[in-house]
Amino acid sequence: MLLCCTRACTRMMFFLLDLLWMLIELSYSILSAVLQTFLRPRLKCIDGELCLITGAGGALGRLFALEFAKEGANLVLWDCNQAANEQTAELAREKGVKVYTHTVDLSRRQDIYEAAEKVRLDVGDVTILVNNAGVVAGRRLLECPDELLERTLLVNCHALFWMTKAFLPQMKAQNHGHIVTIASALGLFSTACVEDYCASKFGAVGFTESLAHDLHAENLNGIKTTLVCPYIVDTGMFEGCEIRKELRGLIPPLDPLYTVKQSMNAILAEQQMICIPRLMYIPLLTRALLPWEANVATYRFMGGDRCMMPFIKNMEIKAAKDQVKTS
């Protein structure tokens, strides 16, 4: 009986000590986050690292390539558009770094694994992985071909699993690496007419957060993750999307270069998550704290409930024109 009481007291003591340590860590984390808001964080050096960027032929991918090249990282650029990818490579080589290109369709798992093996054999181990590629169907759910819906999920979400399985083992072997996921504010809260995109980005957010917990549980502190959740970026991907006229000046589409520079600061500071702009933290909090009806009322006031409809209309017009050309 006495032995049982002793064990119970010991367990309670360890529980209370663990609780105290958790509170200390919690306070330290909050204080660090507050200080980093006002003070410039220390940025790590990535000179000589091997950085792989998906969607490198697009607007954001190209800017990421140039920014990583400025920091001295050698590049592996993946895109399904060979011509656009080579253009990015030419610009990056002007920065004096080594650049390797591959034409890869991220919706095809085997293509990813084969290209990853080729990178390992021909170039070396990737130490920074930037999952930047993204697509959207741009159709209303009931009018969208299943193939387009599937492609959005495959490229924006499923490819994260395959990319990580391809490159994380080498990072774990060295306890060194950085996995970056370019998600979206629409992975934190949703809007109408882009069910495929929201579902894929919610998946990307959940995947990256779970991966971060996994690495932490294995004490692989040398492998970092960064989750980037920007508002609509002015790349043309969501052309026509707009909120209420009176509020457009407060939350305009993001400049691509600004988005990439903010993301780079977070990556080099080894920040786990960044919302761009900071205003995006507000709807994230209100979604969790307010009733559904309150969020719907806010969306309606801001025009967020119908903001994608002009974009969908533009995509429908474009699809109709393309169909006329091919007929």
Residue 2, pLDDT > 60, answer no
Among residues 180, 195, 238, 225, which one has the least CA distance to residue 61?
180
Structural domain harbouring 295? 43-326
Q: How far is it, in rounded angstroms, from Cα 184 to Cα 276?
A: 9
pTM of this structure: 0.89
Q: Is there a domain that residue 22 lies in?
A: no
Lowest mean pLDDT among 40-54, 58-72, 302-316: 302-316
Give the pLDDT score at 304: 86
Would you give the distance in Å from CA 204 to the centre of its chain? 7
pLDDT category of residue 94 using cuts at 50, 70 and 90: very high
Give the pLDDT score at 4: 66
Give the pLDDT score at 10: 76
pLDDT > 70 fraction of the chain, expressed in percent and rounded? 94
Give the pLDDT score at 111: 97
pLDDT category of residue 223 using cuts at 50, 70 and 90: very high
Residue 38, pLDDT > 70, answer no
pLDDT in tens, 237-247: 999 898 888 88
pLDDT in tens, 191-219: 999 999 999 999 999 999 999 999 999 99
Among residues 157, 158, 171, which one has the least CA distance to residue 109?
158
pLDDT category of residue 74 using cuts at 50, 70 and 90: very high
Residue 266, pLDDT > 60, answer yes
Q: Is there a domain that residue 24 lies in?
A: no
Q: What is the CATH number of the domain that holds 86?
A: 3.40.50.720
Give the pLDDT score at 324: 64
Q: Is there a domain that residue 285 lies in?
A: yes
Mean pLDDT (whole number) for 221-225: 97
Question: Under a CB-based contact definition with an 8 Å cutoff, are residues 269 and 261 in contact?
Answer: no
Q: State the residue for tokens 């798992």.
A: 109
Give the pLDDT score at 14: 72
Bridge partners for 108 per DSSP: none
Strand-pair category, 177-182 with 74-79: unpaired
Residue 236, pLDDT > 70, answer yes
Residue 24, pLDDT > 90, answer no
Q: Is there a domain that residue 36 lies in?
A: no
pLDDT in tens, 125-144: 999 999 999 999 999 999 99
Which alpha helices (DSSP H) does the chain contain, by range?
2-38, 59-70, 82-93, 109-122, 146-153, 159-174, 195-217, 256-268, 281-289, 292-302, 309-326
Give the pLDDT score at 28: 74
Q: Is there a domain that residue 4 lies in?
A: no
Q: Is there a domain that residue 85 lies in?
A: yes
In terms of phi and psi (left: phi > 0; alpha: psi -120 to 50; beta: otherwise), the region of 236 is left
Residue 81, pLDDT > 90, answer yes
Q: Is there a domain that residue 29 lies in?
A: no
Give the pLDDT score at 55: 98
Lowest mean pLDDT among 6-10, 35-39, 137-141, 233-237: 35-39
- 97's enclosing H/E stretch is none
Q: Is there a domain that residue 38 lies in?
A: no
Both tokens assigned to 100: 């390797």
Cβ–Cβ contacts within 10 Å for residue 222, how many? Answer: 13
Looking at every residue in the chain, the average pLDDT score rounds to: 91
More confident residue, 256 or 35: 256
Q: Which of 184-193, 242-251, 276-285 has the highest mean pLDDT?
A: 184-193
Cβ–Cβ contacts within 10 Å for residue 122, how many? Answer: 10
In total, how many domains does the chain have?
1
Report the catalytic residues: 197
Give the pLDDT score at 286: 87
Give the pLDDT score at 36: 66
Q: How far is it, in rounded angstroms, from Cα 115 to Cα 102?
A: 7
Mean pLDDT (whole number) for 39-68: 94
Mean pLDDT (whole number) for 166-180: 98
